[in-house]
Amino acid sequence: MNNNLRGRVTIPTDSNITDDIKRAINLWGADAIRDCDGTKLDESILNLGVKVYSTYLTTRSDQIWANNNKDELQELYLMSEPSIAKSELLEIDIMKGYYKEQFKVDTIHDEKKWWQVIDRTTGKTIENNKWILDKKNMKVIIKDATLWHEYTVNFLVYMIWDPTQMYNHITNNWGDKPHELPYDCRQPKTQKHILNLLDNWLENNKDVDVVRFTTFFYHFTLCFNEEAKEKFVDWFGYSSSVSPLALEEFKKEKGYELKSEDIVDEGYYNSPFRIPTKAFKDYIDYQSKWVAALAKEMVDKVHYANKEAMMFLGDNWIGTEPYGKYFESIGIDAVVGSVGNGTTLRMISDIPGVKYTEGRFLPYFFPDVFKEGGKPEEEALENWIQARRAILRKPLDRIGYGGYLGLAMKFPKFLKTVEKICDEFREIHENIKGDKAYTPKFKVAILNCWGKLRKWQTNQVAHALWYKEIYSYVGVIESLSGMALDIEFISFDEIKKNGIPEDIGVIINSGDAYTAWSGGEYWKDSEILEKLRKWVNDGGGFIGIGEPTAYQYEGKYFQLSDVLGVDKEIGFSLSTRKYNKLEQNHFIIEDLKTKIDFGESMKSIYTKGDNSRILAMEKGDVALSINTYGNGRAVYIAGLPYNDENCRLLLRAIYWAFNKENDMKKYYVSNEKTECAVYEKVNKMAIINNSKEEQETEVYINGKVDRKIKLNPTEIKWINIK
Amino acid sequence: MNNNLRGRVTIPTDSNITDDIKRAINLWGADAIRDCDGTKLDESILNLGVKVYSTYLTTRSDQIWANNNKDELQELYLMSEPSIAKSELLEIDIMKGYYKEQFKVDTIHDEKKWWQVIDRTTGKTIENNKWILDKKNMKVIIKDATLWHEYTVNFLVYMIWDPTQMYNHITNNWGDKPHELPYDCRQPKTQKHILNLLDNWLENNKDVDVVRFTTFFYHFTLCFNEEAKEKFVDWFGYSSSVSPLALEEFKKEKGYELKSEDIVDEGYYNSPFRIPTKAFKDYIDYQSKWVAALAKEMVDKVHYANKEAMMFLGDNWIGTEPYGKYFESIGIDAVVGSVGNGTTLRMISDIPGVKYTEGRFLPYFFPDVFKEGGKPEEEALENWIQARRAILRKPLDRIGYGGYLGLAMKFPKFLKTVEKICDEFREIHENIKGDKAYTPKFKVAILNCWGKLRKWQTNQVAHALWYKEIYSYVGVIESLSGMALDIEFISFDEIKKNGIPEDIGVIINSGDAYTAWSGGEYWKDSEILEKLRKWVNDGGGFIGIGEPTAYQYEGKYFQLSDVLGVDKEIGFSLSTRKYNKLEQNHFIIEDLKTKIDFGESMKSIYTKGDNSRILAMEKGDVALSINTYGNGRAVYIAGLPYNDENCRLLLRAIYWAFNKENDMKKYYVSNEKTECAVYEKVNKMAIINNSKEEQETEVYINGKVDRKIKLNPTEIKWINIK
């Protein structure tokens, strides 16, 4: 390591490897260590002057309590698998398809009050006197069912296995290790208990400097099926935060009653892809307000004990809502989260109101990667390269790794790679001295139903996981996460309420039709259309990706097809002839050498209006096009998976859309495998090579080629700009 | 030619080519000739004993009348291009985008009564006092427009150029040849005139045996744009059949008023892809009843003059509705139409209530194909092969060609090919002696919003034209057109009214979501769902293609996803894990040797329920799957363009769906490039080779291999089955 720089790095520990820990601290310049569950640290380590983090499991550390208070376990709403009535007497096995070791039906609370039996053919809830619950067989029996209608039951279950422990248990074959039960901190008895527990713990853990809450009170939704495999996973899901108590208190606070269906949502469970209902938005507000209040009590205790409070962004993070209005009131000192890519990095590093942020990098020190013949250094380097460009925009304050340190120490190439990463990371901080990377004066806004609340969380199902249906959209925010632009996330409600903020230059609407990401029914709202049309006409830039502004209504599918200059053929206008013509040259595609990868792309897009021009087609459909609209401009892109070329394409599209082509090269590198970030206050430019090959690039400063430089594979190079 | 057989063939004629005509009659065994416009036939030809057809243009043969009665020209409703209000005073150039030589704005009828100005942002019609028509500049001026809303004008125009003549004129560069104006036979003055005209014509054309009406009163919708190119073409469109008079009479007959928007339909003009509204269905009924009544008057006159009346299925065919309830009352003797493929052939040959049907085969004898180096014989053979398999199911009575005979006579290979086609055609009739080809006892039904009215007309835009958005569905009916199955076309309304007919074994629902072909909102109708679920459960077979039963509602996209065993992911259920597993062997894919071509296929299809099995996938999505449902079965196919393999796939899917796998080989040929048709009464089987290569196939009779035979390229072979 560069011996002039130390710190900003956290390492995991392990039992009986004191020497390894010392070696790693020295090699990587670590200044903090994270204890593993049940590990006791050697005095000689504590004396090294490193900070000690300790994981704190708020909802399951006391399993005796859990077992003695099973009526205070966490609950969730499930929907039974749909059943078709083949006779008037319909029996529904409500637990069919669910993992019985994870859930136990709640037979304590009155099912007639808390459950709903719904005819999914008509959408109507069945009257309570038309069904009974057979508690012995856990079947709901419907009398007078309408033949051939489909029925489901919304029912409450207790969670009898914590999802994270269950996941690890099953994945790692922990055999007869006891299942941990999660308790619900909203229950007054349990709430008092967990606060006492924390007091005791703080008393008994004097050596700990940082309490790493993992996390607070409610887990994201994770359900397993009868074969103990994943059935449902929603990293943003609130289904596991419900209980009769929570719903009763909701009514008191919000003045109206939630039904089970407000949570179950036809079996979609308010996935963030759904246009959020008022009830669900209210529920998030209600729950996150409560979470913040109780979390604050815990954090206050930690502070009183002269320790720092850190929150892990994951697992039981539901209700913390780092970009919500209550988060800062918790007073947490730091947030740590797993860094899967640039997007997840920004999701952590942009969190407001904390003293510092920390990213846990990949790979984990687990035997699946750290095995004979494994090349963990490759994953580490890839992870670093994808994250680094985002770090240059908004750095994390710290980085770290997780898992079993002893495993990693046997891989010298890996140790070397991480050493280099740690040095590079510290060097960034050393060079930029807290300066913010240069961005142009205008901001880019991602417009969807969620706005700021889901900053860097759009189009996602589970943390950094790849899905065929999302990668062509996730590429948009992944590209933006490392671009020299200030990014906002705004919602339709905000636009309705406050209009479009002054400093926005370009608005991006990106997603599939009828999802919360593109906006669905909001595009039938004339107020939104009026505001956006006027704004573009006055000079704004609008970029649509996939099925932007889609809502079939009054002769068009893309409601802003006039702005975008394209629409999608869904069959109704096949009689209208389409005359698509391709243009060869344009600023947006100027230095693209390879064929553009539109990912899943989009079928049946065609141009509309007099000003629309096509820049690329896929199988006869428009894949990339531009339009002018008064003083404004619009760009349509069929899909934008993340890669170097698409990153550049998006950058060019943004500058073109806002009519600022001439400003793009203020600070610029010509080779799309490279990027640059400029820190004007400290007179420095970082140039990164995002590829594993040597690259040469022209470097633009103030719009002119300043020099030509060569970069080694993955290199970061620093130059002075004056 | 085979000299034992003559007849069943119609040829075109030409001026001054008497010898060629005689040669063609002799070569092809023709027994009818069709005069070209203005051609006078030689006495020596009339003495050959062939029938003479003469084209009769009902709505434009008297251009003096047309020019003297411009207030009785045909009219249509157009929608102006959408305009955005950038100020409160909005001027809309209503004719922008339309071809001014085709249309003239109707300034005779009160625009405030007949037009509508619609805010397409809200869907509301603007009050009449908020707009005026500037007749000088042909602009609609809106006062107090809502800023940034989109406005359109529904307005009436006179057609000042007959679409067919315009099309031919522009395509063939007819230069200063006068534009023909079409008159509206609903106008009492014109109506009387055309009946007189016909009387005179009949009087003056004693030599003519068959009056070939081309056609009756209203043209399908065909609009050109400012560059004299196609702007809008809907072969089924009724937009050109409107007039204030027609709408007034509609009100008298149906008891309610139609608005212009009932015809304009947001600019989709009631494309057959739209779920038909009650108003539009009423309008079709009203208009076709009127067309039938007046056409009958004309046909009666023809009969009185001892001639036959033939109708051309095309051009001005709107309102004749050969599968509607008024058609047979016309009393027409014959229908002739262009044969583009098996589907269009069946559309003609299945027409009920006529004495005979005739197909006009391709290519036309036009200079685009009959040019130096041209190979018209190839197109002729391809056309014949694709049509032949449909002929074997339901033969046309006659075939023929069109264009300039003189051109064709210079291509000896073409003459030879047509000779062979004519012989084969006559041989079919000679062999089958009017017997109907064998079909199993159960019928296959295509279920959509149109039912019987659009028999063999589903998923089409214009006659036999290829569109990327339709070919994966058109393949379904094209396959069926030549298969040994009885095909019905049924509508949702019919099912609601009468249930599912007893003799239906398999129902096919095929099309894109929300179109009339898949059914859209009908899938929210619980009555339809109940009936279909019960029917499949009792043993029916259900085949879904593309986006069958699609309508997003109550937790599912395919409303019969329980029956189909698949649903489509549109983003809301990404949190639900999909476990798709592929099966290798199944009856349906048993003899498929090549990878299945699913055409445009369908994204994001996944299996649902316990009984669903996948037979093929495309890029990670289900492309072919099966399900069992009580005693019934279902098959899902992502798309089915027409080819030999898909034909066989569909046949197998049908037999499997109805649980009749064992019956499929009653009469069967193993090689999918070949097909067979059996005529039990006459003890004959025809085996056709649909390929241009030699083929060998096993021939099954009564479920057992009877023999193995070789077929020459494109050969038809006849064998006895006993």
Closest CA of chain A from B455, distance in Å: 19
Which segment of A146-150, A332-336, B41-45, B601-605 scores lowest on mean pLDDT?
Answer: B41-45
Tell me, yes or no, whether B468 and B538 share the same domain: yes
Sign of the dihedral through C-alpha B612, B615, B621, B626: negative
Percent of chain A with pLDDT over 90: 90
User: Are residue B449 and residue B552 in the same domain, yes or no?
Assistant: yes
Q: Is A717 on the interface with B (CB under 8 A)?
A: no
Taking all residues of chain A, what is their mean pLDDT, rounded to a whole number? Answer: 95
Contact B386, B341 (CB under 8 A): yes
pLDDT value, residue B227:
94
Q: How far apart are CA B609 and CA B291, in angstroms?
A: 51
Residue B314: closest CA among B487, B465, B418, B179: B465
> What's the rounded Cα separation, in Å, for the pair B118 and B155?
11
Q: Are residues A566 and A631 in the same domain?
A: yes
- For residues B112-136, average pLDDT: 97
| Residue B578 forms contact with A (CB below 8 Å) | no
Say how far apart CA B401 and CA B382 lie, in whole Å: 15
Active-site residues of A, by number, are 315
A130: Cβ contacts below 8 Å, ≥ 6 apart: A117, A142, A143, A144
Query: What percentage of chain A has pLDDT greater than the value 70?
Result: 99
Tokens describing residue B292? 């039938």
Q: B604–A468: do the CB atoms touch at under 8 Å?
A: yes
CA A3 from centroid of its chain's CA atoms? 36
Closest approach of chain A CAs to the CA of B499, in angstroms?
15
Mean pLDDT of B590-618: 93
Which chain B residue shows the shortest CA-CA distance from A229? B577
Single residue among B663, B689, B705 that ends a domain in this structure: B663
* Residue A267 within a domain: no
Query: Is some CB atom of chain B closer than 8 A to the CB atom of A121?
Result: yes
Site from A124, A562, A574, A611 to mutate, B interface, most B CB atoms within 10 angstroms: A574
- Residue pointed to by tokens 């309490």: A211
Residue A527 lies in a domain: yes
Tokens at B83, concatenated: 């305009």
Residue A40 domain-assigned (yes or no): yes
Domain harbouring A194, CATH code: 3.20.20.80
Tell me, what's the pLDDT at A39?
61
Of B150, B231, B572, the CB nearest to A576: B231
DSSP codes of every residue in A459-496: T-SSTT---TTTHHHHHHHHHHHTSSSEEEEEEHHHHH
Q: Is the pLDDT of residue A37 over 60?
A: no
Which CATH number covers residue A708? 2.60.40.1180
Q: What are phi and psi of A511, to 5 degrees?
A: 160, 175
Q: Is the dihedral of CA A374, A376, A381, A382 positive or negative?
A: positive
List the 426-485 stretch of A: residues with Cβ below 8 A of B. Answer: 461-462, 467-470
How far separated are the first and last CA of chain B, in Å rounded? 29
Is residue A454 located within the same domain as residue A599? yes
Give a yes or no: residue B710 inside a domain.
yes
Rounded CA-CA distance B630/B14 in Å is 64
Tell me what the mean pLDDT of segment A565-577 comes to: 96
What gap in Å lies between CA B326 and CA B216, rounded to an integer? 14
pLDDT band at B420 (very low <50, low <70, confident <90, very high): very high
Q: Average pLDDT in the A152-165 region?
A: 97
Confidence class for position A44, pLDDT limits 50, 70, 90: confident
Residue B215 scores a pLDDT above 90: no
B270-283 confidence digits (pLDDT tens) = 999 999 999 999 99
Predicted confidence at residue A343, as pLDDT, reads: 96
pLDDT band at B15 (very low <50, low <70, confident <90, very high): confident
Report how far apart the first and last C-alpha atoms of chain A are (Å, whole number): 29
Task: Using the structure block, give the residue that is written with the tokens 């947001």.
Answer: B266
Determine contact, residues B189/B69, Cβ cutoff 8 Å.
yes
**Residues B391 and B466 occupy one common structural domain:** no
Kindly provide the ipTM of the predicted complex, given to two decimals. Answer: 0.95
- For residue A574, give the nearest of B273, B514, B604 by CB distance: B273
pLDDT tens-place string over residues A16-34: 788 889 999 999 999 999 8
- Angle of CA points A584, A585, A590, to nearest 5°: 125
Token pair 């894949």: residue: A623
Beta-bridge partner residues of A582: A614
Give strand pairing partners of A566. Answer: A607
Mean pLDDT (whole number) for A387-416: 95
Residue A285 region, left (φ>0) first, then alpha (ψ -120 to 50), else beta?
alpha
Within a domain: B412: yes
Q: SS3 for A233-255, per residue?
A: EECCCCHHHECHHHHHHHHHHHC
pLDDT in tens, A48-101: 889 999 999 999 999 999 999 999 999 999 999 999 999 999 999 999 999 999
Residue of A415, A393, A572, A414 lying closest to A487 (CA atoms): A393
pLDDT tens sequence across B360-417: 999 999 888 999 999 999 999 999 999 999 999 999 999 999 988 999 999 999 999 9
Same domain assignment for residues B413 and B487: no
Which residues on chain B are in Cβ contact (under 8 Å) with A150? 554, 562
Residue A287: what pLDDT? 97
Task: Supply the pLDDT for residue B393.
Answer: 98
Same domain, B672 and B601: no
Residue B36 reports pLDDT greater than 70: no
Question: B563 and B526 in contact (C-beta within 8 Å)?
Answer: no
CA distance readout (Å), A364 to A375, A376, A561, B276:
13, 9, 46, 59
CATH code for the domain in which residue A478 is found: 3.40.50.880
Q: Is residue B125 part of a domain?
A: no
Q: How far apart are CA A595 and CA A583, in angstroms?
A: 15
- Mean pLDDT value of segment B107-135: 97
What is the reported pLDDT for A720?
95
Identify whether residues B511 and B604 lie together within a single domain. Answer: yes
Instruction: Give the Cα separation of B254 and A511 in Å (integer).
Output: 45
Name the closest residue on chain A to residue B462, using Cα atoms.
A575
> What is the band of A134 on the pLDDT scale with cuts at 50, 70, 90?
very high
What is the rounded average pLDDT of the residues B449-470? 92
Tell me the mean pLDDT in the region A508-528: 98
- Restricting to B residues 607-626, those with a Cβ less than 8 Å away from any Cβ of A are 619-621
What pLDDT is recorded for position B93? 98
For residue A38, pLDDT over 60 is answered with no
Q: Give the CA angle between residues A625, A629, A630 to the nearest 5°.
A: 155
B507, pLDDT greater than 70: yes
Residue A230 has pLDDT above 90, yes or no: yes
Q: Among residues B379, B411, B432, which one ends one of the domains?
A: B432
User: Would A4 be classed as within a structural domain?
Assistant: no
Same domain, A293 and A413: yes
Print the domain residue range for B713.
667-720
Sheet holding B90-93: strands in order across? B90-93, B139-142, B131-134
Residue B215: is the preceding peptide bond cis (ω within 30°)? yes
Cα–chain-centroid distance for residue A715?
28
A233 contact residues in B (CB cutoff 8 A): 575, 577
Write out pLDDT tens, residues A290-312: 999 999 999 999 999 999 999 99
The answer to whether residue B618 is domain-embedded is: yes
Residue from B184, B315, B423, B621 carrying the catalytic annotation: B315
Whole-number average pLDDT of chain B: 95
The answer to whether the CB of A426 falls within 8 A of the CB of A29 is yes
Sign, CA torsion A263/A269/A271/A275: negative
Within this chain, do residues A425 and A531 fall inside the same structural domain, yes or no?
no
The encoded tokens of residue B32 equal 């009818």
B584 falls in which pLDDT band (50, 70, 90)? confident
Q: What are phi and psi of B443, to 5 degrees?
A: -105, 160
A486-517: pLDDT as tens digits: 999 999 999 999 999 999 999 999 999 999 99
pLDDT value, residue A533: 98
The per-residue pLDDT for A3 is 60
H/E run at residue A675: strand A674-679
> Angle between the A376-393 and A471-481 helix axes, to the nearest 10 degrees?
60
Within 8 A by CB and 6+ apart from B497, the residues are none
Placement of tokens 């407000």 in the chain: A262
User: Which among B555, B569, B603 has CB closest to A267?
Assistant: B555
Query: Would you give the DSSP letter of residue A548?
Result: T
Is the Cβ–Cβ distance between A29 and A5 less than 8 Å?
yes
Q: What is the mean pLDDT of residues B303-328?
A: 97
Last residue of a domain, one of A377, A398, A432: A432
Same domain, A540 and A559: yes
The tokens describing A139, both together, are 């079947």
Alpha helices in B511-664, H assignment, sequence order: 526-537, 561-564, 644-657
B370 and B448 assigned to the same domain = no
Residues 6+ apart with CB under 8 A from A346: A390, A393, A394, A456, A481
Structural domains of chain A, count: 3
